[in-house]
Structure 1
Amino acid sequence: MSCEDTWDLASSVGATATMAAAARAIATRADGGLIDDPFAEPLVRAVGIDLLTRLATGELPPGDLVEQVWIDVAKVRTKFYDEFFLDATNAGITQAVILASGLDSRAYRLPWPAGTVVYELDQPEVVEFKTRALAELGAAPTADRRVAAADLRDDWPAALRTAGFDPARPTAWSAEGLLGYLPPESQDRLLDTITELSAPGSRVATENRPNPRPGDEDKTKERLNRISDSWRAHSFDTDMAKLRYFGERNEAAPYLTDRGWAINGISIRDLFAANDLPPLKGDDLRMGDMRYVSGALARNGGGRDSAAREAASRRLRD
């Protein structure tokens, strides 16, 4: 994906949201006790990619098209972010922001505390599509859902402001499955902006991927190319390797820590063990080092952070 790329939910990086929803649909059908996303399957059907629809509905068994490890990752990742938001809002945080929300249905399926405002931020075509598709299903949000229609490459804080976002109130932020699709400098800018817009006591959740060892990325590209080739045989033409940004970048956890966040995390390997899923083996072992991380912004803030937040507040008010 290039910085000038455009997409919808059936093409380019936008299709990854539909792939993730298909994995959640498969996981929900296989293990409803660990993950329950009843909207994943109908949303995939609404997008209309034939292969992903047949996988999501169970018409086509995953087999080699969707390796079991990716289904298991969908289980633990969904559960991690579900619990992050519920823990944050049950602790008194009343606004949540889901960045690059795609086909995320948490605003419709989680038991949000009364008074919670959930902001979904994504490109206008994406949020409009999902809003319409869920309305046609008769689904109603379980929180005060507000759409912030903007591309992350544009002035997305202004879109949040228009939707009613208040930087003076603590916020629960998620950047789920997002950072690897951003150039390194864009990742840093996103994390900086989250920090600037966060009042003390805000919380954040994302993934921390270790920088690659020699040969790691070649193996990853080979694997992604195999997946893309198998999907092309079913008339779904996408190039997974080209959608990701490879190379060195700042790791998210220490980067956030340096900006005043108290960050904790758990590896995929440990999440699999905690949820009684089969351990990773072979080429999947390196995946186990990726950590799902979350944390809170120090309540007493800091000089640099306080000044940044005040500047962000002024920008949002102007």
Structure 2
Amino acid sequence: MSREPAQLSPVSRTAVGVAGLRALENGRPDRLFEDPYAGAFFHAGRELFENAPRRSLGPVFAHQVAVRTRYYDEFVADAGQVVILAAGLDARAFRLPWAEGVRVFELDLPEVLEFKDRVLAQQGARARCLRTVVPVDLREDWTGPLREAGFDPNRPAAWVVEGLLVYLSHDEAERLLLAVTELSAPGSRISFEHRPDGVNDGLLRQARAIGGEVTELWQGGLGTKAPEWLAAHGWTPETATIADLAVRYGREPEDTGRGGFVAATRVG
């Protein structure tokens, strides 16, 4: 087996663990989504967890990942142009029933996208949309490469910022979102995770009680005032909790506090 996954950065390696959680959900008869490639990603990268501590964060995040995946699947369902920032190992371009002509841009570090494409090729996967990968470091200039790849800032876009901001400092998160705002035509939409209770968020407290490499990487992102920030920068925000979404999807909610997601639409 290739040793390539071991070369992924600590933040990028979390994508392999998340793929494992999506694979578990995909195996349930009452699954909230279908992801036939998640198991292949985890199998290809499982060596990263051979020396992992016995107390895993998997059980803590399994429910959240299942709800989050379904939520973002629905968020992009009607979009004509989609940008997935820190795309990781999710295979939406390959597994969702896209309308004809939809363009999906996946941005992530080069080694993540290379690993992803290698596994997908081994599975014989074929994109169901116009898929374009853009290898970049989102802490550096990424808007130029995105434009050069064919992104049209004059068309509304759906921006997916899944599982990313918590790994960025406040300044890094703000720079990222300001860049998104600059590229967003009226009618564009954005969504990312939002935890109004900050460090007191139930899910984060459970994870920190276990500890490990992942929790040590968290920097907090935009903080607790994301809806207010979006409103001040030309977006109309709405929020949804994981608990409420779980009920909507027919799943028993877990006690994870008020954490969930913010979604916003760019106004003219």
TM-score relative to the length of structure 1: 0.75
How far did 1:156 drift? 0.4
How far did 1:280 drift? 2.5
How far did 1:148 drift? 0.8
Match of 2:258 among 289, 299, 305: 289
Counterpart code for 1:226: I
How far did 1:197 drift? 0.3
Do 1:116 and 1:144's aligned partners in 2 also have CA atoms closer than 8 Å?
yes
| Aligned residue in 1 for 2:62 | 71
Q: In the alignment, does 2:229 pair up with 1:255?
A: yes
Distance 1:193 1:269 in 2: 31
Match of 1:277 among 243, 251, 256: 251
Q: In the alignment, does 2:13 pair up with 1:12?
A: no
Match of 2:84 among 92, 98, 115: 98
Structure 2 residue runs of 5 or longer lacking an equivalent are: none
Distance 1:146 1:248 in 2: 28
| Aligned residue in 2 for 1:137 | 123
How far did 1:66 drift? 4.9
Is the radius of gyration larger for structure 1 or structure 2?
1
Counterpart code for 2:148: T
How far did 1:137 drift? 1.1
Aligned residues: 262
How far did 1:225 drift? 5.6
Do 1:224 and 1:240's aligned partners in 2 also have CA atoms closer than 8 Å?
no
2:126 counterpart SS class: coil
Counterpart code for 1:74: V
How far did 1:262 drift? 1.5
Do 1:184 and 1:250's aligned partners in 2 also have CA atoms closer than 8 Å?
no
Do 1:102 and 1:126's aligned partners in 2 also have CA atoms closer than 8 Å?
yes
How far did 1:205 drift? 1.2
| Aligned residue in 1 for 2:35 | 37
Q: In the alignment, does 2:178 pair up with 1:192?
A: yes
Change (3 A) 1:72 1:82: same
Q: Equivalences for 1:75-94 in 2 at 5 Å?
A: 75-87=66-78, 89=79, 94=80
Distance 1:75 1:104 in 2: 12
Match of 2:210 among 216, 226, 248: 226
Q: RMSD over aligned Cα, in angstroms?
A: 2.7
Do 2:161 and 2:192's aligned partners in 1 also have CA atoms closer than 8 Å?
yes
TM-score relative to the length of structure 2: 0.88
Distance 2:7 2:161 in 1: 18
Distance 1:9 1:32 in 2: 35
Counterpart code for 1:14: S
Distance 2:104 2:222 in 1: 33
Change (3 A) 1:37 1:9: farther
Distance 2:210 2:260 in 1: 25
Q: In the alignment, does 2:110 pair up with 1:124?
A: yes
Distance 1:248 1:211 in 2: 13
Do 1:261 and 1:296's aligned partners in 2 also have CA atoms closer than 8 Å?
yes
What whole-Å deviation, never above 9, does each CA across 1:212-269 have from its counterpart, x for those lacking one?
36xx3899467436253xxxxxxxxxx1221111498352222112111122221112
1:199 counterpart SS class: coil
How far did 1:11 drift? 4.1
| Aligned residue in 1 for 2:187 | 201
How far did 1:288 drift? 2.8
